[in-house]
Structure 1
Amino acid sequence: MALGRRRTREREDQRAEGRAVVVREPVDDEPASARPEPVPPLRGASQLWADGVGRAGTRSLQVLAILALVAVAVFAVTRLTLIVIPVLIALVLAAAISPLVVFLRRKGLPSFLATVIALIALVAVLAGVVWLIVVAVVDQWPELRDQAIDGFDELQVYIQNLPFDITEEQLQSVRDSVVGLLQSDAVGAGALAGVSQTVDFVAGFFVMIVVLFFFLKDGPQIWEFLLRPFQGARYERGQRIGDSTVRTLGGYIRGTAIVALVDAVAIGIGLAIVGVPLVLPLSVLVFLLAFIPLVGATLAGVLCALVALVAVGPVEALIVVAIVIAVNQLEGDLLQPVVMGRTLRLHPLVILIALTAGTVLAGLTGAVLAVPIAASIWRAIQVWDGPDLPARFARQKRRETVETG
């Protein structure tokens, strides 16, 4: 039997390489039932696709087909932003406040009432944030913008006295870009303008509220309905993906909100101690920009330093820069690992690529949503084959060691 199996493997290897299969005469001690039927050799076009070049061509066609499907999906998403963006926002918010709904249900409240209470609480919080933005940022934006522009002008004077060879044209080009950004309508109108440029804000808001209500009330049932075509291992995989996505999105939003609040309070206290004006709008901007990974904290720190430079002087501006760096360092080394845990396990390069793609596809809203969506996708890959077993292509490969005796 072992000899027959070995000859079968030899014939399969010969057929995979496109060579003619040599059928040897059966051995007398080999039973007739164990003798495989001879397989004719590959001929013509079949033999062309069996070698290395043919396999590479097959893989190339498959990759092109996948890229075409992705391109069609991206095109459809960019044309349906009025639906896609509100649904994504509702999904993220539902994942963030779902623990509140579960808590109210455990206290004996009906599902409908628990959902309404959680939804009203969320709308109240969002309305408070919007009111704070309008009062603190929009009303004082002209003064804040002028302070930042004047600070950049003073910074330009300091740079010209440095030993570096920086031409006047280069400085003027950077100044024009900064002034154009600060004086643009999108920035002057605050965060709501960025959202309104992505979707029709009024219609999108109502769509988001309705979808959010049903996600909070019937989220598990909706996901169970989508998993009806699957059975067995595929059904269990869908359950793992749904649970991990909700935990990742909710943990990311709640953790980012806590980190942003701590950053805004800490930097606001530092600005007040140094004597920088416009502490409240600067703190609100720090809180909002914290939801944009990597670049948000840098933009907030630059704006605070520019205002400090023109308002109180260069020494105080350097102190503000040191405060911002210290707070960001404390956030990265202590606060984020404690608050967010392992929610966001992405390489900074992946975050940057996701952030860029989200900004290109959906503007400011895409910049905020891209990273948590990328994190949830990666988490789904990590539980693809089991609770702690990633998909085969994502598993860590270890080099085999050969012991020599």
Structure 2
Amino acid sequence: MTTDHIPAQAPAEEPTPALPFGKPGRPFGSSPFIFGFTAALGVLTAWLLVQALTATASMLVLIIVSLFLAIGLDPAVRWLQGHGLPRWAAISTVFAGVILLFAGFGLAIVPAVSEQAGQFVEQLPGYIQQLQNNPQVRDLDRRFGLLEHLQTYLTSGDLGKQVFGGLLGAAGIVVSAVFTALTVLILTLYFLASLRTVTRTTYRLIPRSRRERVQLLGDEIFNQVGGYVAGNLFISLIAGVTTFIFLAIAGVPYALPLAIIVAITDLIPMIGAGIGAAVAIMVSLFVSMPVAIATLIFFVVYQQIENYLIAPRVMKSTVNVPAAATIVAALIGGALLGVVGALLAIPVAAALHLILREVLLPRQDRH
């Protein structure tokens, strides 16, 4: 009686501390079926990924902004750590400063806007009386019944519906803005607390033969992003303080809120300074035309000083990007993601410039 020889089964690999779940098995063999199945699965995965990115685009923007802010705030945390604070205390201190900045902006802007709205409502009858005393308005009223139509419109229910709808829309915008700001703050806090763990895990995904060089390049990119944020905040602080001093001397009302608006909008590349200046000039028109002209001249002169003296000196040691690349990056980023894209464009350009200089160009020189 003969029996077929049955090969002995190989003993299972015992778990080790390095491989707690055992040694990985041999890879599957290649066949047309496996290749086709893998290709179809890859196409399906890519399609699902595109759909997921489209559906979550707004939240992804918030995540990217929060990560950008966390990387930008990390140098301040490391500086406090270097002066003896533990990391949790350094993160709490920096984050408390960010919250105080938001709170100070709200306390400076909201009362001024509320006061101006109240004054407008109180002075509205006087404005109507001035319109009635205007010869041109009286002539239009005599020919077209302008004031009668205006009175009918004001007393009808349509105005109330429009005002109510407008208030609901404004309230929705305010609630959405508050929710977005809270989401960004919370995500920034989480990213800032776990930034070291995230970076270490990311570096471990790189093959060991290239991990050290990638880590050096990544740390340099993080340093440049942090330097860009710190430098941009410093430039905006200079713009806000200078604007406050000028507006206070010129007698423009609400000098502090206007200076804060100028400082915040100055963070936006290319167009931010113009937005803040336009707001300040419009408010100065209520003082007098000479004051408005002086305010316009002040902002024109200050922008030249900031663009050609302050910004190059501050950014020279942090973000080494050619001026042409900065402008192109800001334009492309603004076209893709609006204000957020313009803010993120320059650090991204700095990272690409570093990779081009340290990786791509040396590789091309070797061939």
TM-score (norm 2): 0.63
Within the alignment, does 1:141 sit opposite 2:117 as a pair?
A: no
Q: State the alpha-carbon separation in 2 of the partners of residues 262 and 294 from structure 1.
A: 17
One-letter identity of the residue aligned with 2:234:
I
One-letter identity of the residue aligned with 1:319:
A
Q: Judging changes above 3 Å, is the alpha-carbon distance between structure 1 residues 101 and 301 closer, same or farther for their aligned structure 2 residues?
A: closer
Give the structure 1 partner of residue 334 of structure 2. 355
User: Is 1:289–1:300's contact at 8 Å kept on the other side of the alignment?
Assistant: yes
Give the structure 1 partner of residue 293 of structure 2. 318
SS of residue matched to 1:267: helix
* Structure with the higher helix share, 1 or 2: 2
Give the structure 2 partner of residue 238 of structure 1. 214
Report the count of equivalent residues. Answer: 277
Q: State the alpha-carbon separation in 1 of the partners of residues 289 and 172 from structure 2.
A: 26
Q: State the alpha-carbon separation in 2 of the partners of residues 70 and 375 from structure 1.
A: 29
Q: Judging changes above 3 Å, is the alpha-carbon distance between structure 1 residues 244 and 355 closer, same or farther for their aligned structure 2 residues?
A: farther
Give the structure 2 partner of residue 214 of structure 1. 194
One-letter identity of the residue aligned with 2:290:
V
Q: Which sections of structure 2, spanning at least 5 residues, go unmatched?
A: 1-45, 121-165
Q: State the alpha-carbon separation in 2 of the partners of residues 202 and 352 from structure 1.
A: 28
User: Is 1:305–1:317's contact at 8 Å kept on the other side of the alignment?
Assistant: yes
Give the structure 1 partner of residue 355 of structure 2. 381
One-letter identity of the residue aligned with 1:290:
D
User: Is 1:292–1:367's contact at 8 Å kept on the other side of the alignment?
Assistant: no
Pairwise mapping of residues 74-93 of structure 1 onto structure 2 (< 5 A)? 76=53, 79=56, 81-82=58-59, 84-93=60-69
Aligned-pair distance for 1:277?
0.6
Identify which of 325, 336, 339 aligns with 2:311: 336
Identify which of 269, 277, 294 aligns with 1:301: 277
Spell out, residue by residue over 1:171-230, the C-alpha distance to the aligned partner (whole angstroms, 9 max, x if none). Answer: xxxxxxxxxx9x9738984xx85464xx4x545543332222111x43542333232xx2
SS of residue matched to 1:343: coil
Q: State the alpha-carbon separation in 1 of the partners of residues 222 and 53 from structure 2.
A: 25
Pairwise mapping of residues 381-400 of structure 1 onto structure 2 (< 5 A)? 381-385=355-359, 389=361, 392=364
Aligned-pair distance for 1:256?
0.6
Q: State the alpha-carbon separation in 1 of the partners of residues 171 and 326 from structure 2.
A: 31
Q: State the alpha-carbon separation in 2 of the partners of residues 344 and 358 from structure 1.
A: 23
SS of residue matched to 1:312: coil
Identity %: 23
SS of residue matched to 2:262: helix
Q: Judging changes above 3 Å, is the alpha-carbon distance between structure 1 residues 212 and 85 closer, same or farther for their aligned structure 2 residues?
A: farther
SS of residue matched to 2:202: helix
One-letter identity of the residue aligned with 2:56:
R
Spell out, residue by residue over 1:18-68, the C-alpha distance to the aligned partner (whole angstroms, 9 max, x if none). Answer: xxxxxxxxxxxxxxxxxxxxxxxxxxxxxxxxxxxxxxxxxxxxxxxxxxx
User: Is 1:354–1:374's contact at 8 Å kept on the other side of the alignment?
Assistant: no
Q: State the alpha-carbon separation in 1 of the partners of residues 119 and 270 from structure 2.
A: 25
Give the structure 2 partner of residue 185 of structure 1. 170
Give the structure 2 partner of residue 402 of structure 1. none
User: Is 1:260–1:291's contact at 8 Å kept on the other side of the alignment?
Assistant: yes
Within the alignment, does 1:289 sit opposite 2:265 as a pair?
A: yes
TM-score (norm 1): 0.58
Spell out, residue by residue over 1:49-92, the C-alpha distance to the aligned partner (whole angstroms, 9 max, x if none). Answer: xxxxxxxxxxxxxxxxxxxx79966961661543x345433432
One-letter identity of the residue aligned with 2:221:
T
Q: Judging changes above 3 Å, is the alpha-carbon distance between structure 1 residues 344 and 299 closer, same or farther for their aligned structure 2 residues?
A: farther
